[in-house]
Amino acid sequence: MLKKLLGIAPKPESDGSYSPSKIALKLATVDKSDYEEIPYKKYTGGKSKILVIFTEQKNMKMQNGKSFSTGNHPIEALVPMLHLKNAGFDFEIATPTGQPVVFEMWAFPEKDENVKSIYNDLKSSFEHPKSLQLFIDNSLSKTDSYAAVFVPGGHGAMLGIPEDKNVGEILNWAHENNLFTVTLCHGPASLLATTLNDQEFLYRGYNMAVFPDSVDKMTPKVGYLPGPMPSPLSEKLKGLGANIVNTKADDTVCRDRKLLSGASPLAANALGKLAAETLLEELK
């Protein structure tokens, strides 16, 4: 009752999960992103496609048994995509089984016309994405059509995707064919899929920006999460040999070889610029 009065009680959803408290939403979400519209010289070559791997899962079970209402963070997904679209790239939207993309709609920037525009433009693809198996069956042989794989963040990126053999196969395909991999916040959980079947971590020794475990440990205090995280992401990546370059949930972005990464929603605009500028430079 006291937490509710103070505005730090997570909000119960109709399915029994919890979304962030009033205070957490004020502290951690915005109604307009910091997206910068940049007049890129558009890419016109053949490698114009970017595969975007979204989560289709909504509820993350915390250590205390409560479920966090999550999915993909809209700013982390859509702001980088705005930059890439303006640079001349287009998207193939996929989820592990082809079920609809799940967004953290409580984090949607309702006053951001640019974000709303690309969301509406792609809404049909979000509702009817490809499955990763279909992509593997039909598109792995078409390497010359693709520039990158993008895995947006949101805690939902930690659900199913790290254990999905198709994610591991696609990331290895991108690596072997010199495609870029772009990810941010909790999206680097996808990189764990490269360790399946006792394979060595593909990104051992890489520098990368990732959402800090220390912040995830603090957020239940203000009701952002309804309980402690089920597992620490940064710690797992460090244990496999990754070098995490940030200590805060800030706007840090990082490029190491063909991996582009960002630390948090605050890095979405900078990562989008980095991705667009990098692809344009590399593919010219």
Candidate list 81, 185, 192, 209, residue with the active-site label: 185
Which residues have a Cβ under 8 Å from the Cβ of 157 and sit 6 or more positions away? 55, 72, 151, 183, 185, 186, 187, 189, 190
CA 85 – CA 91 distance, rounded (Å): 8
Q: Say if CB 74 and CB 237 are below 8 A apart.
A: no
Question: 256: closest CA among 237, 233, 284, 232?
Answer: 237
CA 112 – CA 30 distance, rounded (Å): 9
DSSP at 99: P
User: Catalytic site residue 185?
Assistant: yes
Q: What is the largest CA-CA distance in the chain?
A: 59
At 218, which amino acid appears? M
CA 160 – CA 46 distance, rounded (Å): 32
Which residues have a Cβ under 8 Å from the Cβ of 123 and sit 6 or more positions away? none
- Phi and psi at 191, nearest 5°, equal -65, -25
What are the distances in angstroms from CA 204 to CA 50, 128, 197, 214, 238? 24, 35, 16, 22, 9
Scanning the structure block, which residue is given the tokens 């899962």?
A: 57
Q: Which residues are catalytic?
A: 185
